[in-house]
Each structure stands twice: as structure tokens, then as C-alpha cells.
Structure 1
Amino acid sequence: MATGGVEDDRASGVQARAVDRDSPLSMRAHRHNMVGVPSLELDSAAFNDDPRPLRIHGVRPQNPALFEALDRTSDPDTAADVFQHYMAFTFGLNPDFSGSEGADGKRRFRASYLRLLKGWMFDSNNAEGAVLKGWVESRFGLLPTWHREPIRKFASDAWTRYAEQKLSTRFHNNDIHVQLDLLYEFTQWWIGRGWGPMAGLKGARHLRLYRGVNAFDEHHVVSRPDRRTAVMHLNNLCSFSIDRHIACQFGDYILEAQVPLVKIIFFRDILPRYPFNGEGEYLVVGGDYRVTVSLL
């Protein structure tokens, strides 16, 4: 497989989608969030180049038993068991973590973080994907720019459809945003332990990840410093792969990015015993990313 930087106008599909900063697309963030860094800063390429620590306010102090128990673990499998059993106990989930079970033994549906992740990996533009994008919007202050179609302004059918799905009562129960808060903080705790793909990254703030695309409908180009690189605005939540060969299966263009560790929401290694599809997939908070663009 030959790869290389984009050296000619075959990348015109990238160049043609430069963002007009006076357009509604420039309104991409809320004024407030829950991570202590201004949303517009969090959205910027400057933050992604030089990231700062992020914490969702109150999550660790309000769940000391979980993080004290995690700190006593010595391997990733035990840590995953501690986390999943804490979530099952706290949110009344079934042993398979897919719902809840009443005192009479009958199963009753309750929203589960694992159900959302499974739905995202099947189709990131479904209702589960909208709930996850809505959580990123709420906690990090970044607005989605794509959900099945471009979202360019609030007063649009695209925004209305997204908003209806992100607030779906089917998934918006059982403190689903709190579940996702804990998932993010567990992911960040796990990354800090230096296990798995994080081994050898002590002191590092980035992880090289890849994204394969066929077209740039979901991606808006902010600038092209040269023919090999671009600054692209990525959706507020998007998927990358740690394996370039897997990314190659999803498109003719490969985006290579140095993703801040603090923007990683989830990856399969942290819950190794749960049967997720999407091996090597990383859920990442979006914004303006400096990427290298290659053709297969």
C-alpha cells in the first residue's frame, strides 16, 4: 500500500471546503462548559497543539469510593471490573450492563453508557450518537457540526432533528450524563496509569491516531499551511483509530493527528471484557485539528 502526502490537486476536495469565519459555522461553542477551559479555546488548534489538563467538575470528589478503589488496583482487568461493578451498583444496571432489573426479576430498560457506546460503534449518526454528542456539548461546550447532515445554524431542520434525538426520553434517564462523566474520568485515570497503548508515553500529552475518510462533507478546512497538512474542524465527537491499516478501510484519504490525551473519551482497552465492535477505535472530542493528509 503506497501512502504519502497530498502533492497535487487531487486534494482539491480538501481545499474547497474552507470555512468562512463569518458564517454560522463560526458559532461552534457555548459560553460555558464544565471542564474549566473556555470552550473557544478548547475548540482551537492552539489547544490541541498545547493541551491543558481537563477535569469534569465534581466527578472525582463526588465519587471518592470509586477512585480510591481504582488507585488500589494493579492491573487493567481488575480496574475494569471495579469500574463496571461500581456503575452497575450505582445506576441499577444488569450484570450484562445493558439495562436494569426490578425486585420482581423483570427486566426494565434503563439508559446505560455501554448501550450508548455500542450504538455509536454501529452508527455514530443514530440516536445514541446524538446523546453522546449532546453530552460533549454539555460538558465541553462544543457544538456538533454534523449529525447525518451538516448542522450550520440553530434555526435549521438539521439542528431540530439532532436536538430531538439528543433529548430522547428513551436514553435520557438514569442520570446518563453522570454515567458518561464517570466514563470520561475513568478513561483519563486509566490513561494516567500508562497501561496498554499508553505504555512508554510517560510525560506525553498526545497520541498519534488516524481517521479514514472518502469525502470532506463532515470536515471543514480552516487552513492549508502546505500541501501535506491542513487544519480541519472536526465534529464535536468523532472516531479515530490507533491502527493506520484499520483507518485505511474507511476511506481513500487518511488523516493523521496528534490527539491530546485529555480529549480521549473512550477506547476499547479500558473495558477489555465487554464485547465491543470497533477494535482500535477511539472516541475523541473534536475541534480544530492540525492533520497530515495522505492518499492511499
Structure 2
Amino acid sequence: MRDANGRVVDPDSPLALRGHRTNLLNIPATVLCGEAYNDEPRRLRIGDTRREHAALFEALDESPDALTAADLFQRHMAATFGVNPDFSGSEGPDGKRRFRASYLRLLKGWMFDSNQAEGAVLKGWVESRFGLLPTHHKEPLRRFASDAWTAYGEEKLSTRFHNNNIHLQLDLLYEYCQWTIRRGWPDAPMPNWASHIRLYRGVNNFEEHHIVARPDKRTAVLRLNNLSSFSIQRDIAGQFGDYILDAWVPVPKLVFFRDLLPRYPFRGEGEYLVVGGDYRVGVSLL
């Protein structure tokens, strides 16, 4: 098969396949990654995460403000997974510091360089939970039987970052993100009734994003990497490339946004982490 630019694409490659046959959501991966879902999104739930941590979400419902809720969430993460808010790891019973994989450390690593090991673990989590395959990690993932895919697989399962129930940590982060949006704090990035948010991404080329269709010069249907970064501000996105992608992102596909954890320095670029799939985007030059 060939893509929209006429390049040959292996029909069994990550660039051609939409995703796994199964995921841990209430919606199949084949539905989740399509344009139709983006047009009419439904709420997503990762397995029994909410039920298994019901006490946390009951306590969150009683929180008077966003800062209190964020502190409550992070105390719960520290108590459940033994991770410290300073990214440093945890203390064992003997008082010695031990490194444990932490959702905070992954977020910090992603924002420094999404193509490093922390990014591979996050993409592996999306692959596991949402069922969507990555299309890029350091380079395009064109074939499963390739050095690029092998390197990605080794990094996503590396015990340096893939330990301490890291996928369960990320499940809770996602559910907390969605709870925060629906809670509707005054400084939330969107109204709690909103179904979409307008976000921007700067690119120099389309190497990382498989072009599914190009209806015209100002529009493209892209198969975004299974986890991608966007900005809420167009001028910030413009610092990362000559082309600006303009997308209406379904709220259920937001994994993290800049104000979710107010005490942490994740806000400089207004970054939003978005689950991928096929998106119709506007394309414009700076």
C-alpha cells in the first residue's frame, strides 16, 4: 500500500495499522483512533481504576480548590507507590534512598525530550491502555521487524523507568486529569461541559506524522503518534517549527495539561499531552 505522498508502506507496519485488537478502555482501539471518534467523542475509562481508588475520588470531590485537590492526589500517589514529589525516588525502611519509577519523572523526561526512554515508557503505556501503536520514536517506526522498533521496545520495558507499577501510576494520572477537567475549576483550560479544546503543534516536516489524506493545502488528515505534545498557544507552537498544526482535540484524549499539578515546573511551554490517532488538522505557515 502507499501513503498520501505515494510512499510504499508495509500493510503490517505501525504506520499502516491503527492499533491493537484489544485495549483496557470502554471503546475499541479501532474506533478510538478514527476521525469519527474525534468528531463525536465519548468519555473513556481505563479498566477499574476509578473503582479501585474510589476513596481518592470521593475525597477529591470534597476538595475546595484545585491546589488542594492536586496536593491530595500527589499524597495519594506517594502513599500508594512510594514516589516523592521531588522526583528523587523513595526511602526504604532502612532510610536509604532508592530509585523508583515515577509518573513525575516520566513527565519531566518527556518535556525535555520525548524520544528518550521516558518517552518510550509513556508511548508504551498508551499502546497498552488505549491500544494505539506509536508511529515514531527517534525515527519513523515503519516495520515491526526493524532496528527502530526493537530499540523502542527495549526502552519502553527498561527496568530503569518501567518498574514500580508505572502503568498503574499513569492510569491514575489520566483519570485525575479527566476528573479535574470535569470538575470545572475557575482556572481550568476549558469549561467542564466542553467536548473539545483547540490546540497547536509546530513542525518542520511531517516525518513524525503519517499523512492519511491531504484534501487541500490548508488541511491534512494525519495519523499522529500515539502520544503527542501540543500547546494551547499558537505563538508558542510556532517556536517549534515552520508549520502550525491546528487541531480540535477531544477532551477524553487529554492525558496531561500544564496546570494539572500547579506546584511543578511543567508550565513553561503550555504543553498538553494528547492521545493520537487520525486527526483532521489545519496546516498553516508562520
TM-score of the pair, normalised by structure 1: 0.91
- Matches of 1:97 and 1:281, distance apart in 2: 19
Q: What letter matches 1:16 in structure 2? A: N
- Matches of 1:50 and 1:108, distance apart in 2: 45
Deviations 1:215-267 (A, max 9, x none): 11101111122322111110000000001110010000000000000000001
How many angstroms does 1:268 deviate by?
Answer: 2.1
Change (3 A) 1:193 1:153: same
1:74 counterpart residue number: 64
Equivalent runs, 1:180-195 vs 2, <5 Å: 180-195=170-185
Q: What letter matches 1:88 in structure 2? A: A
- Matches of 1:236 and 1:19, distance apart in 2: 21
- Matches of 1:141 and 1:242, distance apart in 2: 26
Change (3 A) 1:272 1:279: farther
Identity among equivalent positions (%) equals 69
More off after superposition, 79-88 vs 224-233: 224-233
Deviations 1:185-235 (A, max 9, x none): 000000101232434x24221000000001111011111223221111100
The yes-or-no answer on 1:279 pairing with 2:269 is yes
Deviations 1:98-145 (A, max 9, x none): 311122221100000000000000000000000000000000000001
**Contact 2:201–2:230, Cα closer than 8 Å, also in 1:** yes
- Matches of 2:54 and 2:12, distance apart in 1: 45
**Greater relative CO (CA pairs within 8 A, separation 6+):** 1
- Matches of 2:162 and 2:78, distance apart in 1: 17
How many angstroms does 1:40 deviate by?
Answer: 1.2
Deviations 1:20-77 (A, max 9, x none): 5846322230000011211111111111111111010100100011101100012110
Change (3 A) 1:273 1:193: same
- Matches of 2:8 and 2:40, distance apart in 1: 23
- Matches of 1:85 and 1:192, distance apart in 2: 21
Structure whose residues are more often helix by fraction: 1
**RMSD (Å), alpha carbons:** 1.8
Q: What letter matches 1:174 in structure 2? A: N
Instruction: Choose which of 113, 117, 120 in structure 2 pairs with 1:123.
Output: 113
Change (3 A) 1:264 1:187: same
Deviations 1:130-171 (A, max 9, x none): 000000000000000100001012111111000000000111
Instruction: Choose which of 154, 157, 161 in structure 2 pairs with 1:171.
Output: 161
1:224 aligned counterpart, secondary structure: strand
1:110 aligned counterpart, secondary structure: coil
The yes-or-no answer on 1:16 pairing with 2:16 is no
Change (3 A) 1:66 1:207: same
Q: What letter matches 1:198 in structure 2? A: P
- Matches of 2:90 and 2:138, distance apart in 1: 30
Instruction: Choose which of 260, 266, 288 in structure 1 pairs with 2:278.
Output: 288
2:215 aligned counterpart, secondary structure: coil
**Contact 2:74–2:85, Cα closer than 8 Å, also in 1:** no
Aligned residues: 282
More off after superposition, 236-245 vs 17-26: 17-26
TM-score of the pair, normalised by structure 2: 0.94
Which stretches in structure 1 are left out of the alignment for 5+ residues? 1-13
Which stretches in structure 2 are left out of the alignment for 5+ residues? none
2:253 counterpart residue number: 263
How many angstroms does 1:275 deviate by?
Answer: 2.2
**Contact 1:51–1:262, Cα closer than 8 Å, also in 2:** yes
